[in-house]
C-alpha cells in the first residue's frame, strides 16, 4: 500500500441526482411477443402528428399495450420513488400508442411530446444487419440506430446526454418534455418500436 494513502479513509458525504428520470427495463420474451402481435401496417396511420421522418407509423391498441407492460410500470413507480425521494401516488393512464417501422435512412429528429406527463419507447425488433452496422461504427457517438436523450446545455463536469444502442425488449420511460432523437441507419432490415404517452391522474 502506498504510504500516502495508508491512513486515508472515505468520509461521509452526500451528492445529488440531478435532471430528469430516465428509466430502462427489459421485457420478458413472452411479454415482448405479445407486444409484437400488436404491430400492424394495416392500422390507421399516425404520421401527421409525429416528428419522425418514417414512412410507416401506425396506431396500436393503447389498452392492449398497457396490459402487456403493466408489470413493468410497477417497477417504474419504485424507481420514481428512489429518484425523487417520494412515491408516485397518481394513477398512470395510457393516452396513445403507436408503432414505428423504421428502415434505412429514416430517423426521428430531436423532439419532445406534448399534452402528456411521461412517454416511452419499446424496441420490439432489431434487424441483425443493423446490429452488425452499429458494431462496425468507429465514431465517438453511439452510432447508427442509437437513441439519445438530451437535457440542458453541454458543460464540463456535467451530463447533458445519454445515448444507447437498444436491444430487443428494452423499454425506456421518461418525462415527456425530455428531448430525444433516433439516429438513422443504412443497413437493410426493418426495426420495429412502440411508443406511448401517459398522463397522471
pLDDT value at residue 127: 97
Residue 11: is its pLDDT beyond 90? no
The proportion of the chain whose per-residue pLDDT surpasses 70, expressed as a percent, equals 97
- In total, how many domains does the chain have? 1
Three-state SS at 112: coil
Residue 27: is its pLDDT beyond 60? yes
Residue 66 lies in a domain: yes
Q: Spell out the residues 6+ positions from residue 28 whose beta carbon is closer than 8 angstroms to its own.
A: 169
pLDDT value at residue 1: 53
Residue 115 lies in a domain: yes
For residue 170, give its domain range.
23-200
- As a whole number, the mean pLDDT across the chain is 94
pLDDT value at residue 136: 97
pLDDT value at residue 116: 98
Q: For the residues 15-22, what does the mean pLDDT come to?
A: 89
For the chain, report the end-to-end CA distance as a whole number of angstroms.
57
Residue 18 lies in a domain: no
pLDDT value at residue 5: 58
Residue 145: is its pLDDT beyond 60? yes
Q: What is the pLDDT of residues 91-144, one digit of tens each?
A: 999 999 999 999 999 999 999 999 999 999 999 999 999 999 999 999 998 999
Model confidence band, residue 4 (pLDDT cutoffs 50, 70, 90): low
pTM of the model as a whole:
0.93
117 near 80, Cβ under 8 Å? no
Q: What is the pLDDT of residues 59-88, one digit of tens each?
A: 999 999 999 999 999 999 999 999 999 999
Least confident of 30-34, 158-162, 190-194: 158-162
Q: Spell out the residues 6+ positions from residue 65 whose beta carbon is closer than 8 angstroms to its own.
A: 35, 38, 94, 97, 194, 196
CATH of the domain at 141: 2.60.120.620
Q: Across the strands, what pairs with 89?
A: none
- Nearest CA-CA partner of 195 in 164, 169, 172: 172
Amino acid at each position: 500500500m502506498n504510504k500516502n494513502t495508508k491512513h486515508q479513509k472515505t468520509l461521509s458525504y452526500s451528492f445529488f441526482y440531478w435532471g430528469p428520470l430516465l428509466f430502462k427495463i427489459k421485457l420478458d420474451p413472452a411479454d415482448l411477443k405479445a407486444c409484437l402481435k400488436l404491430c400492424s401496417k394495416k392500422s390507421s396511420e399516425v404520421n401527421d402528428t409525429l416528428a419522425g421522418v418514417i414512412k410507416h407509423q401506425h396506431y396500436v391498441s393503447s389498452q392492449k399495450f398497457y396490459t402487456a407492460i403493466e408489470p413493468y410500470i410497477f417497477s417504474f413507480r419504485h424507481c420514481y420513488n428512489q429518484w425523487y425521494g417520494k412515491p408516485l401516488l397518481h394513477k398512470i393512464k395510457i393516452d396513445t400508442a403507436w408503432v414505428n417501422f423504421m428502415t434505412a435512412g429514416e430517423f426521428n429528429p430531436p423532439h419532445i411530446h406534448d399534452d402528456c406527463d411521461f412517454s416511452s419507447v419499446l424496441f420490439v425488433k432489431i434487424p441483425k444487419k443493423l446490429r452488425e452496422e452499429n458494431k462496425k461504427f468507429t465514431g465517438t457517438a453511439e452510432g447508427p440506430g442509437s437513441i439519445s436523450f438530451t437535457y440542458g446545455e453541454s458543460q464540463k463536469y456535467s451530463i447533458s446526454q445519454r445515448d444507447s444502442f437498444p436491444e430487443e425488449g428494452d423499454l425506456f420511460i421518461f418525462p415527456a418534455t425530455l428531448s430525444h432523437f433516433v439516429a438513422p441507419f443504412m443497413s437493410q432490415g426493418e426495426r420495429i418500436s412502440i411508443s406511448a404517452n401517459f398522463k397522471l391522474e
